[in-house]
């Protein structure tokens, strides 16, 4: 609970801090005293420090909030720290608030939660955690504790104790600037809440230029039936892709699983459809595309572009019957896959040994005419070609070369553009790091250098030769390669949880080194010279934006498959919400999440809903990203947006990646003057967003306590109303500059 450091209109003199549990006390008949400081750099006159029941106390100089010294106590089980004023007692009216600075030392022990505060006079002991959220090591927190909270019986007091009420022992604590503040007003003040020691400062630059957030970043692969409604009818894109589509026969809907499952040719892609429609050409994509059009969702469809597709549904294909030579028609289990038929509008001939992709694209364009579409339909060029020898050796056993893939890309992209010049083409659909840099160690990699650089330069040249853009979007896949990030939950080790919530930093942060083979084995040797390609560590999105800017400007960036771990744990919800914010801020064009999105215990839909349906009534974050600075990008993430249509709203999505509640300050610099803010949270308590409250706002900012391991969507408005929050002093700063060497799309 957070309050300000002052209560307006009342004068106070500083005095004593009373820390307590049940302990002996002394009462005097002397008149009430004017309180003074209890401890600054030393105990004030009349005060002594004492360790009780095995606890030890001393005044040390190694760690102090201010001045030169602070109190250090090491707690024994059941022990206490006492501040004793001898035989001189204080009366209930002598003080209003107890104030002090508290530090949990180098280790934030579990025992800190067991400390209790009281007056040692038989009054009401209060947990210290009610006033101090000591969650971080070597960090000072300020506490303000109303005397009334501790003295419901209005008794005199003279001994003050901070007690450990459990058997947990051996942990340290530090106290400084111990005082009591007197209120001289006639009417006793109401109980105060603790003032926040801000853990991070978020400054939103509302008047700075905004950048459009592409709605296509809110996409998934194979959404469950209820996801559209759960996301307030705002899910923006679906993808029909993956390993199955590399050998998909659109004429019969047969496909081959490759190494994923026994090289099985079967009806997997249409098995949920009525038997009568399973062999109707194109049925595997018809139902999902029709559903997407009905709901106004964009769709991304895979076009196979290697040499063979499945000819039947006879089950596992033995290696002796794999297709190994391009163009052969004698294999019973395979049909030859070709780009063009010479008659794209013709009906497919299911009796021959050929499948033509121009007829597939023409069928799709005719079935869903561009002029009447509710949302775009785009095409991706196969799936992870660098892995064809590993996922689909039954149809492409040899490693593809750079030259081969550019030839296939040019042929298939040209065919698609002939069918619909305005259709967007995605490629090369690379699986991961070694695919990006060498097309998975392609035979001609050493001759041509970095693969994605070569790919972009080559498609640019081919596009210039044809006088039209052939590839519109650079399409990559991403999944953290360290094992900690790959766990799904619900139970996670601390290492797994930390790896998952920190993992999205690899998407943008040049200072973040994830624990994976990519960083440890590939990138580490380059760090002494400024990093691979002059960029430290993975820094994935800025790195890709640089390649686009250098080799084919104007190309969009897509992650048509990405996985972040933690699906059934709040850690996965945090990582997913973080990634969506990153995609919007960094200018990603499209992103479709890979993995399970079903189930009431799945946190991924909840993370999407924090942007698309935070209030359960279709409330969504605006479509214009605006700058926001964050003083702690390790433990927190923050994103801000306005809307191109709604002018009286501003959205802040704030993430706490730690196990403790984190008080932060949110301030808005420039733009509309907001007077209310509403909060919705996603925490481990529920896998869907929860409304927390609406508060009034003035002065351009407010304090807010980020929940432990949680995502908060904060909606600033001009609606007014709400309960009054604590005031916030202005402390605006200029936005941080981008790391040197990182360039972004113009």
In the chain, the N- to C-terminal Cα span, in Å, equals 44
Spell out the domain ranges in the chain. Answer: 12-195, 203-210+623-717
CA dist., res. 256 & res. 263, Å (int): 6
Count the residues in the chain.
746
In this structure, is the dihedral angle defined by the CA atoms of residues 283, 288, 293 and 294, taken in order, positive or negative? positive
- Among candidate residues 637, 655, 641, 638, the one with its CA nearest the CA of residue 711: 655
CATH architecture of 12-195: Sandwich (2.60)
367 by Cβ neighbours in 10 Å (0-12 / 13-18 / 19+) ranks as middle
Computed on alpha carbons and rounded to an integer, the radius of gyration of the chain in Å comes to: 32
- Among candidate residues 464, 476, 370, the one with its CA nearest the CA of residue 423: 370
Structure tokens of 245?
A: 């589509």
Q: Which pLDDT score, from 0 to 100, does residue 249 have? A: 98
CA dist., res. 439 & res. 59, Å (int): 63
CA dist., res. 99 & res. 5, Å (int): 10
Other CB atoms within a 10 A radius of the CB of residue 130 amount to: 15
Q: Which pLDDT score, from 0 to 100, does residue 33 have? A: 37
Mind spelling out the 3-state secondary structure of 527-554?
HHHCCHHHCCCCCHHHHHHHHHHHHCCC
Structure tokens of 543?
A: 């790195």
Angle of helix 603-612 relative to helix 570-586, nearest 10 degrees? 40
Q: Report residue 255: phi and psi, to 5°.
A: -150, 165
Q: Which residue has the tokens 């936005």?
A: 735
Is 204 in contact with 667 (CB distance < 8 Å)? Answer: yes
Q: Which pLDDT score, from 0 to 100, does residue 724 have? A: 61
Q: Is the pTM of this model over 0.85?
A: no
Q: Which pLDDT score, from 0 to 100, does residue 18 have? A: 28
CA dist., res. 403 & res. 413, Å (int): 15
Enter the CATH code of domain 203-210+623-717: 2.60.40.1180
Q: Across the 746 residues of the chain, what is the mean pLDDT of every consecutive 10-residue run?
A: 26 28 27 64 90 93 92 90 84 80 76 79 79 74 80 80 80 88 46 55 92 97 95 97 97 97 97 93 96 97 97 95 85 94 94 96 97 96 98 96 98 98 98 97 98 98 98 96 85 94 97 95 95 95 97 98 96 98 98 95 98 96 96 96 94 96 91 91 97 88 92 93 53 34 30
Q: Which pLDDT score, from 0 to 100, does residue 145 have? A: 82
CA dist., res. 53 & res. 19, Å (int): 16
Strand locations in 31-79 (E): 48-52, 56-60, 70-75
Residues 6+ apart with CB under 8 A from 141: 101, 102, 103, 132, 133, 134, 197
- Among candidate residues 328, 319, 493, 302, the one with its CA nearest the CA of residue 392: 319
């Amino acid at each position: 609970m957070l309050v300000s450091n002052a209560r307006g209109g009342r004068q106070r003199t500083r005095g004593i801090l009373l820390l307590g549990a049940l302990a002996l006390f002394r009462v005097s008949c002397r008149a009430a005293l004017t309180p003074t400081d209890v401890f600054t750099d030393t105990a004030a006159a009349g005060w002594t420090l004492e360790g009780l029941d095995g606890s030890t106390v001393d005044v040390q100089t190694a760690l102090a909030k201010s001045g030169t010294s602070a109190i250090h106590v090491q707690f024994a089980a059941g022990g206490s720290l006492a501040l004793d004023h001898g035989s001189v007692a204080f009366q209930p009216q002598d003080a209003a608030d107890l104030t002090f600075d508290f530090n949990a030392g180098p280790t934030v022990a579990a025992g800190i939660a067991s400390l209790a505060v009281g007056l040692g006079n038989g009054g009401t002991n209060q947990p210290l955690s009610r006033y101090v959220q000591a969650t971080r090591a070597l960090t000072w927190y300020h506490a303000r504790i109303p005397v009334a909270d501790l003295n419901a019986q209005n008794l005199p007091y003279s001994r003050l104790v901070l007690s450990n009420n459990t058997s947990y022992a051996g942990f340290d604590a530090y106290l400084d600037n111990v005082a009591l503040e007197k209120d001289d007003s006639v009417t006793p003040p109401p109980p105060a809440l603790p003032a926040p020691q801000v853990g991070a400062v978020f400054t939103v630059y509302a008047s700075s230029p905004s950048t459009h957030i592409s709605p296509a970043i809110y996409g998934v692969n194979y959404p469950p039936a209820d996801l559209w409604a759960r996301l307030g009818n705002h899910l923006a894109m679906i993808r029909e892709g993956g390993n199955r589509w590399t050998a998909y026969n659109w004429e019969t809907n047969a496909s081959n699983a490759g190494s994923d499952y026994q090289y099985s040719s079967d009806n997997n892609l249409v098995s949920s459809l009525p038997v009568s429609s399973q062999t109707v050409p194109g049925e595997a994509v018809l139902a999902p595309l029709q559903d997407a059009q009905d709901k106004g969702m964009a769709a991304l469809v895979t076009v196979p572009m290697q040499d063979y597709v499945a000819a039947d549904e006879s089950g596992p294909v033995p290696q002796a019957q794999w297709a190994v030579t391009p163009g052969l028609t004698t294999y019973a289990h395979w049909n030859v896959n070709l780009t063009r038929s010479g008659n794209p509008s013709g009906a497919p001939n299911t009796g021959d040994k050929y499948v033509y992709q121009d007829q597939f694209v023409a069928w799709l364009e005719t079935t869903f005419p561009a002029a009447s579409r509710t949302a775009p339909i785009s095409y991706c060029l196969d799936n992870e070609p660098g892995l064809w020898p590993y996922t689909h050796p039954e149809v492409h056993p040899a490693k593809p070369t750079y030259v081969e893939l550019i030839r296939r890309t040019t042929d298939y992209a040209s065919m698609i553009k002939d069918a619909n010049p305005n259709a967007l083409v995605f490629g090369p659909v690379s699986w991961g790091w070694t695919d990006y840099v060498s097309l998975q160690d392609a035979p001609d990699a050493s001759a041509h250098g970095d693969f994605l650089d070569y790919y972009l330069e080559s498609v640019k040249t081919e596009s210039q030769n044809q006088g039209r853009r052939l590839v519109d979007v650079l399409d990559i896949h991403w999944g953290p390669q360290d094992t900690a990030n790959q766990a799904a939950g619900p139970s996670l080790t601390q290492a797994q949880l930390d790896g998952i919530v920190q993992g999205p930093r690899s998407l943008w942060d040049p200072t973040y080194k994830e624990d994976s083979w990519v960083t440890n084995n590939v990138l580490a040797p380059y760090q002494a010279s400024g990093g691979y390609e002059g960029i430290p560590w993975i820094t994935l999105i800025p790195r890709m934006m640089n390649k686009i800017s250098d080799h084919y400007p104007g190309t969009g960036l897509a992650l048509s498959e990405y996985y972040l771990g933690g699906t059934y744990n709040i850690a996965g919800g945090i990582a997913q919400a973080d990634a969506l914010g990153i995609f919007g801020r960094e200018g990603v064009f499209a992103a479709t999440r890979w993995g399970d999105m079903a189930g009431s215990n799945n946190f991924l839909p909840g993370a999407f809903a924090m942007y698309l349906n935070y209030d359960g009534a279709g409330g969504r974050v605006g479509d214009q990203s605006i700058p926001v600075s964050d003083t702690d990008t390790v433990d927190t993430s923050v994103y801000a947006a306005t809307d191109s249509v709604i002018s009286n709203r501003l959205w802040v999505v704030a993430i706490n990646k730690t196990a403790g509640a984190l008080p932060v300050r949110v301030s808005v610099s420039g733009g509309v003057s907001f007077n209310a803010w509403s909060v919705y949270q996603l925490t481990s308590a529920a896998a869907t967003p929860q409304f927390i409250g609406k508060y009034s706002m003035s002065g351009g900012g407010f304090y807010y306590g980020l929940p432990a391991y949680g995502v908060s969507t904060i909606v600033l408005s001009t609606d007014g109303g709400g309960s009054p929050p604590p005031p916030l002093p202005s402390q605006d700063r200029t936005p941080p500059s981008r790391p040197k060497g990182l360039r972004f799309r113009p």
